[in-house]
Structures are given as structure tokens and as C-alpha cells.
Amino acid sequence: MIREELKKRVDRCFVRGVSDGLWSDAASGAYVVEEPRQASHGDFSTNMAMVVGGRDRKNPREIAAALVEMLAADRDFIADISIAGPGFVNFVIREAVWQGRIGAIIAAGAEYGKSEVGRGKKALVEFVSANPTGPLSVGHGRQAALGDAVARLLSAVGFEVEREYYYNDAGRQMRVLGESVRARYLELAGWEYQFPEDGYQGGYIADIARDLYEKNGDGLADADYLPFKQAAEKAIFADIDASLKRMDIRFDNYYNEHTLYDDGLVDDVVTELRDKGLVYEKDGAVWFKATDMGLDADRVIVKSSGEPTYRLPDIAYHREKFRRGYDWMIDIFGSDHIATVPDVMAGIRALGYDSGRVTVVLHQFVTLMRDGKKVKMSTRKATFVTVDELIDEVGVDATRFFFLMRKADSQLEFDLTLAASRSQENPVYYLQYGHARLCSIMAKAAATGVEVGDTAMVAVARLVEPEELAILKQVSAWPALVESAAMDLEPHRIIFYLLDLAARFHSYYNKHRIISDDVELSRARLFFAEAIRVVIRNGLVLIGVTAPENM
């Protein structure tokens, strides 16, 4: 907010300089106003003089001096302006400006931090997309938390967002699933059976088979794998859906891969690529001329057996995303998809679509740790750790929070001992405790008769402690942080910001009394504390974590 206001003032000076013939408009839109790397350089800095000087071949420091002179009339907003280095202009904003932000933050409440940068644009976030062959794994759990947080961020900055789950209930893996359940069913019925060599081994397979046997006796003993596949798919997808709901994750759309075949869309892609001269046949297979689209080798899209490779339906699916009219399509995948992405994007470009409208976020895997050692939790539901097991041990809030604590492309070590602890070493507990402490301060103030009352009468000018001003600058930067985290698809930045804000608040609280005999100062500090509470609560909402009022 304050940076945007300063940028407007610098922009007015730039336009005035163009009008006065001091420089050309060649640098229009090319310079920035940002926070300097070193706090000693001020609150903000602009490189306008250097950009103008570079475009117009003029001395940047002379341009900087002209900018400083033009801003002389803005001293109600700017406390100090200085020129540094080759032509940076540094700004110190008046304390009253920072103090004045508190009222706006509290008035905005739950809306504080939201913006309209994505207004009028539709975004589709595809995530989880786990095929119904087993319970939701910890790896998919990280993807679930990441995808939901990305969707929340995009909604907060004005996008019309849809969440989509794409899955496949056909193909070899589903046949193997059906055969695995059938084998366990025959075992229960006392018939001879052969378990598939690469069958699914989890205890959940036996549970599904047992349920079928209890309902049908040995009436399905002569059936092929199909009824077993159908029963398994229904049971497993219900289990996945229940796990996601425990994490408070809902989807707007479910897109099944088989519809691409049923509607002839996969064959249509091959036909279109063939018409464009981008398909040829070799060794009985159908090849896509991926080299024409910039890849290092051509790709098989239909095997000699007539079975499509994974690339083909994925290309068809993404074409349908474009046809549905989304402005921005975000795919959130595990890092095992790294080889798939270039092929699908090449296919999209070959069909005439702008692959730049698709952003793929690849996340790394999760390693569970306990007391500094890797953990392989025992489970009868699968050969991997499930999201439900994780939630049972550490809770929903810690599960979501820890999944989001690292950048998506970083390996995540999930410390189970820390996540389950109720101590201030646990970052999610520490943050939630900060929110609860702020709520208790307000409750205590009300009980002792010290309330903020009329906001116009609050003496915010009393908030002059260095810690107060530092926090005011931080909460004022919240909208910009939300916007950048949303547009960069990086929800971990919300967590970093919140933890830093909570640390500043706890330190401030331990040093300064908020409620004291000085009623005017108490009211100002309560006003200040409420602004912090608003930001922490709004941040927790964005990452899908609760904001308790007491702990």
C-alpha cells in the first residue's frame, strides 16, 4: 500500500520530467520502487534515475537530483530522501504514515491483503490427481496442501479459481488392482488363485475382498477382474475423498481420463497432429515429431500394440483445459513427472496453443523423521505412509503447515516429533499461540475496562518504539507479500512472513506492556495489537490452518 503510494508519486515526477524535457519516456514502466536490501538505506529505493540515464545516455545522479527536487513538496509523506551509489534514490517514510495504516488494516479485517490483480481472469489448479489404486500417500498429501494453498492465494488476489482432480480408472494399473482384489477374494473363498506378480499388497486390498465376500459369498468366483476393479475403485476413491475432506480440501471438478477416449478426443489429437504433418509411423508405432517443437528427440504417442503412451491423453486433457477458456492453468505434480512435462507442453504448442498459459509446479518428496532418524511407519493400509496416519499422529493443522514450510522444489523433512509437540519450538503451535495471545489481550482489556473505542480518537502517534515501527512496516507490506506469493505460486512465503511477524510480536510483548496505567498508550497499543492479529489470522486462513482464540 505505502510502496504503491510512493510509486505513484515517483511516476508523477517521471511524467513531469518528460513534459519538461528533462528526459524521454523511454524508461516508462521499466523502473521499480522496492525495499532496499539493507535497512540502513531507508524504507524504499528506486532505480528510476539509473534506468532513465541508461536509456537516454544521461548522468543518473543528475537525474536523481532532479527527482529529489521534484519530491520536495511531498515531505508530508517522505521524511528523508538521499542519493546513493550510481544513482539510487532512497526514501524514509514518515512515522505518521506507518502509524496511520493501523485503522485501514482493522477496518479491512478479513479482506486485508486481498487485491484485484487477477480480476476478470479464470485460473484452473489441478492437483492431487491420484489414481484410485490405494489410499492417499504422504507425497500426495504434500501436493494436496500445496495445491489448495495456491488456489486460496489466487482467489485472494482476484482470480476466479477452480480446483480440479484428474484421474484414470482404466488401463493396466487398474486391471492389476482388480486382479489383486480378485486373488484375495478367491483366497477367502478357498479357491485356487495366483496373486499378480506386481499386484497391490496393502491390507486395504484384503479389506475390499472381505467386503465383497461377505456380500456375495463365492458368487463372484467365476468372474473376471472387472467387478473387483469397480468395487476397489469405489472404495478407494471414497477413502481418498475422506482423507482430503479431513484436510478441508474440496474440488470443483473431477475429470476422468476415460472420457477422453469415450468422446474420441485422444484420436482427434492424433488426427490433428497428423494433418499438421507432425506425426509419422515407424516400427509399427505412431511417433510425434517433438523435434519440430524444440525437443531433443521424437516421442512415441501410440505403441505398436495400439496402446497410447502416457503423453497422448495428457496432451488431449490439456487441450480441453484450453478449450474450457482458462486464462491460467496450474499443474501441481510430483517430481517424478519431470520427464512428462516437456512432452505435453510440446504437444500443446503443436496444436496451436500458448503453453505459456500453463505453469507446472513440481514438488519434491517427503521424508518422515522422528528424533533425527528416518521413519517408516508401519501400516496395514498400504506399503506407504498414508495421510490419515499422519493426521492421526500430528493433527490436521500441523500436517498442512509442515507440508507448506518448504519451497515446492525442495526436499521436505517432516519432523513428526516436532509437529506433534505442544511447545513453542513447534512452528505451527508458536504461530497459533501468537494469535491466541493477541485474542487474550483483547479479552483482558475488555475485562479491565480498557478498550479501543472510537478509532478516530486513538493516539497512534504514541507508537514510536523501534519495535512498533518495525512491525507496522511489516504488516503494511502484507498485501504486497500476498500478491507476490500468489503470482509466483509460492505459499511457503506466507509461512516465512507469519513466523517472522509472530517472532517480532512475541519479542515486543516480552519487552513492552500493552495494557498499563497509561490509558491513552494502552488504547494505542491495543489498536496496534489488533492489526497484528488481523494479519496473522488472514495468513493462517490462506494456508488452511485454524486460528484459535485460546490455547
Tell me the average pLDDT across 393-422. 96
What DSSP state is assigned to residue 386? B
Domain spanning 2-93, CATH architecture: 2-Layer Sandwich (3.30)
Cα-based distances in Å from 215 to 71, 221, 529: 81, 13, 60
| Domain coordinates in residue numbering, the chain | 2-93, 172-246, 257-363, 424-542
Give 397's contacts (C-beta < 8 A, 6+ positions apart): 428, 432, 545, 546
Strands (E), 87-236: 88-93, 122-126, 160-167
Percent of the chain with pLDDT over 90: 89
The pLDDT of residue 454 is: 62
Three-state secondary structure call for residue 366: strand
**By three-state DSSP, how is residue 48 classified?**
helix
Please state the length of the chain.
551
Q: What mean pLDDT comes out for the span 480-509?
A: 97
Contact 515, 526 (CB under 8 A): yes
Q: Which alpha helices (H) appear in 20-117, and where do they start and end?
A: 48-56, 60-70, 95-99, 101-108
- pLDDT score of 40: 87
Q: Give the CATH number of domain 424-542.
A: 1.10.730.10
Please state, in angstroms and as integers, the Cα–Cα distance from residue 252 to each residue in 127, 169, 506, following that order: 12, 19, 39
d(CA 255, CA 235): 18
pLDDT at 383: 63
What's the whole-number mean pLDDT along residues 10-34? 97
> Which 3 state secondary structure label does DSSP give 124?
strand
Over 90: is that where the pLDDT of 451 sits? no
Alpha-carbon distances of 308 from 255, 301, 303, 318, 471, rounded to whole Å: 18, 6, 6, 16, 57
User: How many Å apart are CA 196 and CA 189, to the nearest integer?
Assistant: 18
- Per-residue pLDDT tens digits for 289-348: 999 999 999 999 999 999 999 899 999 999 999 999 999 999 999 999 999 999 999 999
pLDDT at 208 over 70: yes
pLDDT tier, 3 (very low <50, low <70, confident <90, very high otherwise):
very high
Quick: pLDDT tens for 136-191. 999 999 999 999 999 999 999 999 999 999 998 877 889 999 999 999 999 999 99
In this model, does residue 384 exceed pLDDT 60?
Answer: yes
Cα distance between residue 2 and residue 535, in whole Å = 16
Alpha-carbon torsion (488, 489, 492, 496), positive or negative:
positive
What is d(CA 370, CA 374) in angstroms, rounded to the nearest whole number?
Answer: 6
Task: Identify the bridge partners of residue 331 per DSSP, sorted by sequence position.
Answer: 126, 360
Q: What residues are paired with 253 via a beta bridge?
A: 164
Count other Cβ atoms within 10 Å, centred on residue 224: 12
Separation CA 315–CA 353 (nearest Å): 11
Strand order in the sheet with 358-363: 253-256, 160-167, 122-126, 328-334, 358-363
The set of long-range contacts for 70-73, using a CB threshold of 8 Å and a minimum separation of 24, is 70/13, 70/16, 70/17, 71/9, 71/10, 71/13
Report how far residue 272's alpha carbon sits from residue 437's, in angstroms, rounded to the nearest whole number.
Answer: 62
Residue 379 pLDDT > 70: no
In 179-284, beta strands by DSSP E: 253-256, 279-282
Nearest to 89 by CA among 38, 42, 46: 46
At residue 481 the predicted structure's pLDDT band, cuts being 50, 70 and 90, is very high
So what's the pLDDT on residue 31? 97
**Is the pLDDT score of 381 beyond 60?**
no
- Residue 457: its pLDDT value, please? 67
Grid cell, residue 150, equals 495456491
**Segment holding 486, helix H or strand E:** helix 478-487
Which residues lie across from 330 on neighbouring strands? 125, 359
pLDDT at 1 (0 to 100): 82
DSSP state, residue 145 = H
For residue 201, what pLDDT is reported? Answer: 86
Bridge partners of 46?
33, 89
User: Over the stretch 495-519, which tens digit does the pLDDT of each residue have?
Assistant: 999 999 999 999 999 999 999 999 8
Mean pLDDT on 242-248: 97
Give the pLDDT confidence score for residue 426 in this predicted structure.
Answer: 97
Which residues 6+ apart lie within 8 Å of 204 measured at CB?
A: 134, 135, 235, 236, 239, 380, 381, 382
Query: Could you tell me the pLDDT band of residue 37, with boundaries at 50, 70 and 90?
Result: confident
How would residue 494 be classed by pLDDT, with cut points 50, 70 and 90? very high
Are the beta carbons of 360 and 406 closer than 8 angstroms? no
Q: For residue 449, what pLDDT is reported?
A: 77
Q: What pTM was estimated for this model as a whole?
A: 0.93
Cell triple for 189: 473363498
The confidence band for 382, taking pLDDT boundaries of 50, 70 and 90, is low
* 57-72 mean pLDDT: 96
452 vs 306, which has greater pLDDT? 306
Give one DSSP letter per residue of 276-329, joined into a string.
Answer: TT-EEEETTEEEE-GGGGT-SS-EEEE-TTSPBPTHHHHHHHHHHHHHTT-SEE
Give 257-363's CATH code, choosing from 3.40.50.620, 3.40.50.720, 3.40.50.2300, 3.50.50.60: 3.40.50.620
